[in-house]
Chains A and B, each alone.
Chain A
Amino acid sequence: MGQGVTEFGVEVTSDDIIDTLGFFDGWEDRYKYIIDLGKELPPLAEEHKTEANLVRGCQSQVWLISEARDGRLFFYADSDAFIVKGLLAVVLAAYNGKTPAEVSAFDIDAYFAELNLLNHLSSTRGNGLKAMVQKIQAIAAQ
């Protein structure tokens, strides 16, 4: 893949993100944290930013690739928008390094609701995040 193993899902887990985001009071700290998460997410190499890997959203673009190693799934994602990229990191923290059964069993809506970010998963946002989650779930179901 030519991509380093991302720390999200391995070193930073969904529980870590729930803990950290729960610690902040105002939206400003929360969004700063999400933007920082996005900056820590390794960018996808340009060669992977292809039409085939594009998850189409109306506003921003999201690219996603995946691989299976030792029965576990690893995802690599990127976006042209900062906040969406941070939200991708939030998603990958939940899914990376899990078995397909674990990915399928994970309740992403409950996770985003707990993070008070559920509106970003709604289809009205058109940010490609929901489409990416659906694509990850489809990969796990294969």
Chain B
Amino acid sequence: MTLFDAQAVRAEFPILQQQVNGHPLVYLDNAATTQKPESVIEAIADYYRFDNSNVHRGAHALSDRATEKFEGARNKVAAFINAESSAQVLWTRGTTEGVNLAAASWGRAHLKAGDRVLVSAMEHHSNIVPWQMIAESCGAQVEPIPVDDLGVIDLDALDALLDERVKMVSVGHVSNALGSINPVDEIIAKAHAVGAKVLLDAAQSIAHWSLDVQQLDCDFLVFSAHKMFGPTGMGVLYGKRELLDSMPPYQGGGEMIESVSFAGTVYNKLPYKFEAGTPNIAGAIGMGAAVDFIQGLDRQAADAHEKQLLQSAELALNNLGGFRLVGCSPNKVAVMSFVADFAHPQDIGMILDQQGIAVRTGNHCAQPIMDQYGLPGTVRASFSLYNTQADIEALMQGLEKAKMFLA
């Protein structure tokens, strides 16, 4: 395996070349959003500069070009996740809208009173609340799959929870709060064994490895462009064709219809049935460029680089003393969630910010697991492939200073 050249990749990200509060920016909030390479920024700018037009309906050259790029991006994303067809790749505003679309539309067609939906206890609120909303409207129940002190899903408990009343198991591939990589192959197999469908939230995994929806055999897959070096306000819901065909439209409007009359409206075919209104054309093109960027990387080497960063950061944090890791699954992405025994996570975050170091503090929109751990929140340093050993050294110096101030 070749060595990953993080410095070379880093040079492609203009935002990382700046000073913040008089210090070189150390960006360690990649689980919240990743930065964008020049190629993505250019693709979006070029679209507005040269091709901006509405898609699918113009009888002119610009519209043809915009449509070609827009649908070309869909084809790229479909190939990226190995979808059976581009028609099964629905554009959304992001992971949250993807879960909401699946919960509202699939749920309306398939959930009824007495049915059960399982989510893990460490899900992001985005993968809890949409299910609670549809469950409340039809009399179904949403129940947590227990997670242990290390941040590992309890598969025995899942076995005990699964029965024929479970219609959906909706889980994150990777926990945003703890970084745990969940055993999704086993979860999907177990869910399918009782006839339940599986929605996989890949928001936190899509930037790290190649995903193959056919190999995973998930029924739905959701993710966001902005966590994989693409623009905000853009995401994807992939679904198996028979499920998408069985679901009613999510929103009504232009694009999603075949014909409209007051006698009755006929809906458009996939994927347009679920894409009411003028879409985020620039967002789709930017997402396509992000896929190109990722495809151009040696992903195995990038993964090894990130793992090495995590190992190094966790070791250094333990050596500092006064800090405790939260989430110690043996299988983790490069997310280091921790607390200090001398101060609130927010204090740590504020002192780091003064030193140009960006981390996330708080409950990470995962209150149930924070409550289970009895924590007000954590400090989360999340690494991406453009981070380097120098970023970890800056973080450790920043934490030393926080200790000096607050302990």
Besides the known contacts A60-B376, A126-B362, 14 further A-B residue pairs in the complex with CB atoms under 8 A apart: A28-B401, A31-B354, A35-B405, A58-B363, A59-B346, A59-B361, A59-B362, A60-B344, A80-B376, A81-B344, A82-B343, A82-B406, A83-B351, A84-B344
**B343, A81: Cβ atoms closer than 8 Å:** yes
CB-defined interface of A72-106 with B at 8 Å, one 1/0 digit per residue?
00000000111110000000000000000000000
With both chains docked as a complex, state the minimum distance between the C-beta of B177 and any C-beta of chain A, in angstroms. Answer: 14
Q: Does B347 contact A (CB under 8 A)?
A: yes
- Across the interface, which residues of B come within 8 angstroms of A27, CB to CB? 21, 354
- Across the interface, which residues of B come within 8 angstroms of A28, CB to CB? 354, 401, 405
With both chains docked as a complex, state the minimum distance between the C-beta of A94 and any C-beta of chain B, in angstroms. Answer: 21
**B362, A81: Cβ atoms closer than 8 Å:** no
**A58, B362: Cβ atoms closer than 8 Å:** yes
**A80, B344: Cβ atoms closer than 8 Å:** yes
Which A residues form the contact surface with B (CB < 8 A)? 27-28, 31-32, 35, 58-61, 80-84, 126-127
Taking chain B's interface residues, is the majority helix, strand, or loop, or is none over half, making it mixed?
helix
Q: Does B304 contact A (CB under 8 A)?
A: no
Bound-state Cα–Cα, A80 to B342, Å = 11
Bound-state Cα–Cα, A126 to B21, Å = 20
**A82, B21: Cβ atoms closer than 8 Å:** no
- Across the interface, which residues of A come within 8 angstroms of B130, CB to CB? none
- Across the interface, which residues of A come within 8 angstroms of B401, CB to CB? 28
**A84, B346: Cβ atoms closer than 8 Å:** yes
Q: Does B172 contact A (CB under 8 A)?
A: no
Partner of A83, one of B346, B362, B377: B346
User: Please, which residue of chain A has its CB at the minimum distance from the CB of B354?
Assistant: A27
**B350, A61: Cβ atoms closer than 8 Å:** no
Which B residues form the contact surface with A (CB < 8 A)? 21, 343-347, 349-351, 354, 361-363, 376-377, 401, 405-406
Q: Given A31-B351, A60-B376, A61-B376, do A81 and B405 touch, yes or no (CB 8 Å)?
A: no
- Across the interface, which residues of B come within 8 angstroms of A32, CB to CB? 405
**B347, A82: Cβ atoms closer than 8 Å:** yes
Name 23 A/B residue pairs within 8 A (Cβ), A-sorted.
Answer: A27-B21, A28-B401, A28-B405, A31-B350, A31-B351, A31-B354, A35-B406, A59-B349, A60-B376, A80-B344, A80-B376, A81-B343, A81-B344, A82-B343, A82-B344, A82-B347, A82-B406, A83-B346, A83-B347, A83-B350, A83-B351, A84-B346, A127-B346
Which of A58, A61, A126 has the most B CB atoms < 10 Å from its CB? A58
- Across the interface, which residues of B come within 8 angstroms of A81, CB to CB? 343-344, 346-347
With both chains docked as a complex, state the minimum distance between the C-beta of A120 and any C-beta of chain B, in angstroms. Answer: 8
- Across the interface, which residues of A come within 8 angstroms of B354, CB to CB? 27-28, 31
Closest 5 CB pairs of A and B: A81-B344, A59-B362, A81-B346, A59-B346, A60-B346
User: Please, which residue of chain A has its CB at the minimum distance from the CB of B22?
Assistant: A27
- Across the interface, which residues of B come within 8 angstroms of A35, CB to CB? 405-406
- Across the interface, which residues of A come within 8 angstroms of B347, CB to CB? 81-84
- Across the interface, which residues of B come within 8 angstroms of A60, CB to CB? 344, 346, 376
Which of A35, A58, A60 has the most B CB atoms < 10 Å from its CB? A60
Bound-state Cα–Cα, A28 to B398, Å = 12
- Across the interface, which residues of A come within 8 angstroms of B363, CB to CB? 58-59
Bound-state Cα–Cα, A32 to B350, Å = 12
With both chains docked as a complex, state the minimum distance between the C-beta of A57 and any C-beta of chain B, in angstroms. Answer: 9
Bound-state Cα–Cα, A126 to B346, Å = 10
**B406, A59: Cβ atoms closer than 8 Å:** no
User: Please, which residue of chain B has its CB at the minimum distance from the CB of A128?
Assistant: B346
Bound-state Cα–Cα, A31 to B352, Å = 12
Which of A59, A84, A127 has the most B CB atoms < 10 Å from its CB? A59
User: Please, which residue of chain B has its CB at the minimum distance from the CB of A30?
Assistant: B354
User: Please, which residue of chain A has its CB at the minimum distance from the CB of B365?
Assistant: A58
- Across the interface, which residues of B come within 8 angstroms of A126, CB to CB? 362
- Across the interface, which residues of A come within 8 angstroms of B405, CB to CB? 28, 31-32, 35
With both chains docked as a complex, state the minimum distance between the C-beta of B326 and any C-beta of chain A, in angstroms. Answer: 15
With both chains docked as a complex, state the minimum distance between the C-beta of B403 and any C-beta of chain A, in angstroms. Answer: 12
With both chains docked as a complex, state the minimum distance between the C-beta of B405 and any C-beta of chain A, in angstroms. Answer: 6
- Across the interface, which residues of B come within 8 angstroms of A127, CB to CB? 346
Bound-state Cα–Cα, A82 to B377, Å = 15
- Across the interface, which residues of A come within 8 angstroms of B350, CB to CB? 31, 83
Bound-state Cα–Cα, A91 to B336, Å = 34
Bound-state Cα–Cα, A27 to B357, Å = 14
Q: Given A31-B351, A31-B354, A32-B405, do A59 and B343 touch, yes or no (CB 8 Å)?
A: no
Bound-state Cα–Cα, A31 to B344, Å = 15
- Across the interface, which residues of A come within 8 angstroms of B406, CB to CB? 35, 82
Bound-state Cα–Cα, A83 to B354, Å = 13
